[in-house]
Amino acid sequence: SSRPDEDLLDGLNPQQREAVTYRGQALLIVAGAGSGKTSVLTRRIASLLRNREAWPSQILAITFTNKAAGEMRERVEHLVGDSARGMWISTFHSACVRILRREAEQFGFTKSFTIYDSGDSRALIKRLVKEHEADAFGLTPAATQSRISKLKNELADAESYARTANMSDPAERVFVELFAAYQRELQRANAFDFDDLIGQTVFLFRAFPQVADVYRRRFRHVLVDEYQDTNHAQYALIHELTRPPGASTGSATGGRPLAGSGGMMIFEAPSTGSGTGEEDGASLTVVGDSDQSIYAFRGADIRNISEFEKDYPGATVVLLEQNYRSTQNILSAANAVISHNFDRKDKRLWTDVGEGEKIIGFTGYSQHDEAQFVADEIEALRRAGVDYSQIAVFYRTNSQSRALEEIFIRSALPYKIMGGTKFYERAEIKDALAYLVAVANPADEMAMRRIINRPRRGIGDVTIETIARYAVDQQITFRDALANSSALGVGPKIQAAIAHLDAVLAEASEIMLPASGELAPPTAVADGLQLLLNKSGYYDALRASKDAQDEARIENLDEMVAVAREFARNNPEGTLLDFLTEVALVSDADDLEDASGSVSLMTLHTAKGLEYDAVFVTGVEEDLIPHRISAGEPGGPQEERRLFYVGITRARKRLYLSLAMTRAQFGEVTVAMPSRFLQEIPLELLHWRQSPGDVNSRGGTQSRALNARRGGFGGSGSGSGKRYGDDLVPLARREPTGNLERFANKIPSKVRDNGDMELAPGDRIRHEDFGDGRVDAVTGEGAKRVAHVRFDTAGPKKLLIKIAPISKL
C-alpha cells in the first residue's frame, strides 16, 4: 500500500490493474469498446512517471487524433502534475513531423518542408496526369492518388513497385512513371505528403541507424492506442522505434518480412530480452479492439494485432471484458450486431450499471422528417437535464449532415460539426496558407503557382511557365526566379507585378522568419499573415468585389488571422513552421473551436474513441450503412458492421437509431431500405417510437402527417418492416428528384394509397405536380411497383405507383 502510484489503481478491476502495473517488454491489451483501454494507457503513463521509472521525455504515446492526444496529455498532467512535461503524446503524423523537422536535412529536405494534405497532392497529381496524358490509360487523378497512397502505406516506392509490376502493360508503365514523377516533384518542392510523413520516417530510420538510435535511446516507453487501425508503415515505424539501440537494421533474426519492401529483403528483428536495461528495445504497449477496425480502406492491417504475439515473442496479453461506458441494453445490442461478423474471436462485454433505457428507433418520412425527430428529441433530452455537449449525432457520409443542419438552424439548436478540415478547404483559406507556405518554404512551387495570380495581377499561364523554365534552367527555386524578374524577358507591367509580389513576400519573411537564434515575437505569424493579405492586394480585391460571397471570404480570412493569434496565445514560442504544421495536421476529429454547449455532429469514422450520454445514429439504411460502395468489396460489409458497432458503443445512456423512408443522395431521391444491421438487434431491446408526440406534446402538421402515414400504411409493406410494427412500414417511396424539399415543407395531410392501381405501358396519367404524361414502363412488384413516366412538360420521371399523387386518364 506504499506504492507511489497506489491511488492511480483505485477503482480499477484486476485486469486493468495488471495492464497498468505490468513491467515488461511488450504488452498487448485487447478489449471491446468502453472497457477502459484508453484509460488504462493513460494511467500506465502516469504510473511510470509517478514511480520515477521514466522521465517524461522517455515517453512516446500515439493516439488516433490530435484531440485524443490533447485529452490524454491533460489527464496525465492531472494525475501527476507538472512532472508530465516533455512527453510526446501525439498522432503518428505529428510525431513524424517532429522527427522529420529535426532530421530532414539528413536526406535532402530542409526543415521548413511543406506538408501536402490530400487536396494538395491531388492537385499535383492532376497536373502530372495531364502532362503524362495518363487519362488515356484510365489513370484518373483520384485513382492514381489512391493507388500511390496504398503503395506508400505498404512502404513501396516507384522503384520497388516497378520490380513487381507487369511492366509490359503500358498502363502500368505510365503509372510507375507518374509515381516516380510525383515523388520527384515532392522532393523538388521540399514537401511530404501525409503518407510520406510516416513512410519517410521509416526510411530515415532504416537508412540512418545512428539517427534511429537517438530516438530508440530516447523513447523507452512506446504506447499506441487504437492499434487495430495501424497500417503497415505505422507498424514498421513502431518496430523501428522499439528495436534495441545499436542493433543493425538488416539483421534477419526472425519476424515477418515486410510487404512492399521491394527487392531488399528486410526482416523485422523482434525486440527480445527482458528488463529495461540500456541496450534493450523500448517497452511497447499497444491497445486495440479488432471489432473496431474501420480503416482498412486506408491500409489498416488487422494482422498488426492478431500477430502481435508472433511479432513480439514473450508479449503479455491482457483482456478487458467489463464495460464501464454503456448500459446493458446498449451493450447487448452491440454484442448482438458484432457477433454477426464471422472470423472473429468472440468476446462478451458486460456491465454492472443495469439495463437502462431501451434503444429508441424512429423511421422518418424523409431525411428532413428524420432530422426533425432528432432535433425534437435533443430538446426533450435537454429539458430532462442532458447538456448539449453530452449529445452526439452520427452519420455515415458527410453529405448527410446537411438535412440535420437545416433543421438544427431552424430550431436554433447549437451544434458543431466535428471535422476541422472543412474550414481549411475553402479556396481563400488555401490561398492564405499558400502565402504562408511561400514564405516558409520558398522551394514549394505549388504554393507559388497558387498565389502568383491571386489576386489577379495579369500573370497568366504563359508567364508562369516562363518563370518555371527559368527556375529549372538556372537551377534555382521558383521563388528565386521571381526575385530576378528583370531577367525573365516579360513585359514591364508583368515584371512590375512580379517584383511587387516578391517584395511583399520578402517583407513578410522578415517579420515571420527571424535570423537564426533570434526569437520572433509571438504575434509574428498573425502580423505576417495580415501584412501578406493587405499588401498583396488580396483583401482589396475582395472588398472591391460586388459578390456577396466575397464578403464571407473576408470574414473567413479574418477568422484565419484570429486562429493565428489564438495559436500565438497557446504557443508563445510557436514559429511559422509550427503553425503550418498544426494547420496541416488538423484531422477529422479535431475541432479548432470550443464545442462546449453544442451538440456534436460527425461521421461514424470520426466518432471512434469518443463517448456521449446520448447518441443518435442516423441514416441506418441499406446503401448508407452498410455503404453501397462496400457491398462489392471483399470484407466490405463486415467492416461496415464494425463501423456501426463503433457508433452504437459510443453511447453511455441513451441510444437512438433512425432512418428515413426516402433519401436524397447520390444526386437522386431514392427509396431507402432499413439497414440489415437493424435486424441483428434483438427486438426486445428496441422501442420504435410511434410519433414525436411521445417525446413532447408537439402537435401541428408533422404529427398529423405521421398519424396519417400510420393510418395510410399500416400493415402493408415489406417483410422486414413487419418486425418493427407499423412505424417502419412501408419503406418504399420514390419521389422525383428535386421534389423532396417541396414535399418536406408541405407534408400532405393525407397520404395517398393508390394500392392496386393497374398501370401499363401506353397509359396516360395525371400527376399533381408534373401534369400529364405517358407511362413507358412499369417495373417492380407489389408495394414497390415503379412507373417510368414521360411527362409532357416535366420530362421523364420514375414514380412509386402506390403513393405518387397520380390518377389515370
User: Least distance from C-beta 759 to ligand ATP, angstroms?
Assistant: 51
Q: Binding Mg ion by CB under 5 A: which of 419, 537, 609, 717?
A: 609
**Residue 34 annotated as binding site:** yes
Q: Is 773 in the site for Mg ion (CB under 5 A)?
A: no
Q: Which of residues 600-639 bind ligand ATP (CB under 6 A)?
A: 609, 611
Q: Which of residues 241-300 bind ligand ATP (CB under 6 A)?
A: 289, 292
User: Least distance from C-beta 72 to ligand ATP, angstroms?
Assistant: 10
**Residue 36 annotated as binding site:** yes
39-78: string of b/e by CB count within 10 Å (b at 16+)?
bbbbbbbbbbbbeeebebebbbbbbbbbbbbebbbebbbe
What amino acid is encoded at 803 in this protein?
A: I
Which three cell numbers mark 33? Answer: 469498446
Q: Binding ligand ATP by CB under 6 A: which of 20, 26, 31, 437?
A: 31
Q: Judge whether 37 counts as a catalytic residue.
A: yes
Distance CA 314, CA 273 (A): 9
What does DSSP say about strands 359-364 and 651-660: parallel, antiparallel, or unpaired? parallel
Nearer to ligand ATP, 43 or 216 (CB): 43
Listed ranges 33-41, 294-302, 518-526, 534-542: which one lies at the site for ligand ATP (CB under 6 A): 33-41
Q: Binding ligand ATP by CB under 6 A: which of 8, 20, 33, 648?
A: 33
Residue 31 partner contact from Mg ion, ligand ATP, none using kind-dependent CB cut-offs of 5 to 8 Å: ligand ATP
What does DSSP say about strands 114-116 and 391-395: parallel, antiparallel, or unpaired? unpaired
User: Least distance from C-beta 34 to Mg ion, angstroms?
Assistant: 8
User: Least distance from C-beta 44 to ligand ATP, angstroms?
Assistant: 12
Stated length of the chain: 809
Q: Which of residues 2-61 bind Mg ion (CB under 5 A)?
A: 37-38
Distance CA 622, CA 660 (A): 11
Distance CA 200, CA 100 (A): 8
Q: Is 34 in the site for ligand ATP (CB under 6 A)?
A: yes
Residue 600 partner contact from ligand ATP, Mg ion, none using kind-dependent CB cut-offs of 5 to 8 Å: none
- Among 234, 292, 400, 477, the one annotated catalytic: 292
Q: Which of residues 636-675 bind ligand ATP (CB under 6 A)?
A: 649
Q: Which of 355, 348, 351, 347 is nearest to 322 (CA)?
A: 351
Q: Is 37 in the site for ligand ATP (CB under 6 A)?
A: yes
Which three cell numbers mark 381? Answer: 433530452
**Residue 32 annotated as binding site:** yes
Q: Is 36 in the site for ligand ATP (CB under 6 A)?
A: yes
Distance CA 186, CA 100 (A): 15
Q: Judge whether 225 counts as a catalytic residue.
A: yes
Instruction: State the DSSP string of 62-75.
Output: EESSHHHHHHHHHH
Q: Is 21 in the site for ligand ATP (CB under 6 A)?
A: no
CB atoms within 10 A of CB 465: 10
Q: Judge whether 633 counts as a catalytic residue.
A: no
Residue 583 partner contact from Mg ion, ligand ATP, none using kind-dependent CB cut-offs of 5 to 8 Å: none
Opening angle at CA 755, ends 753 and 757, nearest 5: 115
Distance CA 6, CA 355 (A): 32
CA separation (Å) from 228 to 22, 33, 257, 456, 469? 21, 12, 19, 48, 47
Distance CA 582, CA 802 (A): 55
- Among 75, 650, 654, 797, the one annotated catalytic: 650
Which three cell numbers mark 52? Answer: 520515477
Residue window 38-67: x/- pattern of binding to ligand ATP, with contact defined by CB under 6 A:
xx----------------------------
Distance CA 55, CA 77 (A): 13
Distance CA 487, CA 481 (A): 9
**Residue 123 annotated as binding site:** no
Listed ranges 10-18, 73-81, 83-91, 752-760: which one lies at the site for ligand ATP (CB under 6 A): 10-18
Q: Binding ligand ATP by CB under 6 A: which of 1, 2, 11, 793?
A: 11
Q: Judge whether 226 counts as a catalytic residue.
A: yes
Q: Which of 368, 342, 504, 482 is nearest to 436 (CA)?
A: 504
Nearer to Mg ion, 304 or 702 (CB): 304
Nearer to ligand ATP, 37 or 232 (CB): 37
DSSP state of 279: T
Q: Binding ligand ATP by CB under 6 A: which of 208, 297, 324, 423?
A: 324
Instruction: State the DSSP string of 153-192.
Output: HTT--HHHHHHHS-TTSHHHHHHHHHHHHHHHHHHHTTEE
- Among 25, 38, 230, 603, the one annotated catalytic: 38
Nearer to ligand ATP, 22 or 324 (CB): 324
List, as residue ranges, the binding site for ATP: 31-38
The residues carrying an active-site annotation are: 37-38, 225-226, 292, 650
The binding site for Mg ion (CB under 5 A) comprises 37-38, 609
The binding site for ligand ATP (CB under 6 A) comprises 11-13, 16, 31, 33-39, 289, 292, 324-325, 609, 611, 649
